């Protein structure tokens, strides 16, 4: 199972929006609405930000939103804040009880 493809980096100024893409195949992202997004600060464990493509767990700000079109899922962070600077990973169900993560995107707040 190959990792989902994410851009290595993305950036934006405070208050701006940044969108991260996550490209897979018909066997994972395109085949199921089971895409999750995680935020990871350096030296810390990942934190769930989005599940089932667009749903936010309790406590996650509504500045974070998810979507999907075909084999590509996206995470948008609106109103960027300094604390949003982190690595972001997508994840998808890939069938037969297998799961795959994305390659990761480092978001920098300029």
Partner 1 sequence: QVQLVESGGGVVQPGRSLRLSCAASGFTFSSYGMHWVRQAPGKGLEWVAVISYDGSNKYYADFVKGRFTISRDNSKDTLYLQMNSLRAEDTAVYYCAKDSLIFGVVSTRGNDYWGQGTLVTVSS
How many other CB atoms are there within 10 angstroms of residue 96's CB atom?
Answer: 7
Concatenating the DSSP letter of every residue in the chain gives -PPBB--SEEEE-TT--EEEEEE--TTTTTT-S-EEEEEE-TTS--EEEEBTTTB--TT--TTEEEEEETTEEEEEE-S--GGG-EEEEEEEE-STT-EEEB--EEEEE-
Measured from the CB atom, the residue of 9 and 16 that comes closer to partner 1 is 9
Measured from the CB atom, the residue of 12 and 104 that comes closer to partner 1 is 104
Write down the least CB distance from residue 99 to partner 1, Å. 4
Write down the least CB distance from residue 97 to partner 1, Å. 4
Measured from the CB atom, the residue of 38 and 64 that comes closer to partner 1 is 38
Binding site for partner 1 (CB under 8 A): 1, 3, 34, 36, 38, 40, 45-48, 50-52, 55, 57, 89, 91, 93, 96-104
Two structure tokens written together for 104:
């990761």
Write down the least CB distance from residue 79 to partner 1, Å. 23
Write down the least CB distance from residue 23 to partner 1, Å. 15
């Amino acid at each position: 199972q190959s990792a989902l493809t994410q851009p290595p980096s993305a950036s934006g100024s405070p208050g701006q929006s940044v969108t991260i893409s996550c490209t897979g195949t018909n066997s994972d992202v395109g085949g199921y609405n089971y895409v999750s997004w995680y935020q990871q600060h350096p030296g810390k464990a990942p934190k769930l930000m989005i599940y089932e493509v667009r749903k936010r767990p309790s406590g996650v700000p509504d500045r974070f939103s998810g979507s999907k079109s075909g084999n590509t899922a996206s995470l948008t962070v609106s109103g960027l804040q300094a604390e949003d600077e982190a690595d972001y990973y997508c994840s998808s169900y890939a069938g037969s009880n297998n799961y795959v993560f994305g390659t990761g995107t480092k978001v920098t707040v300029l």
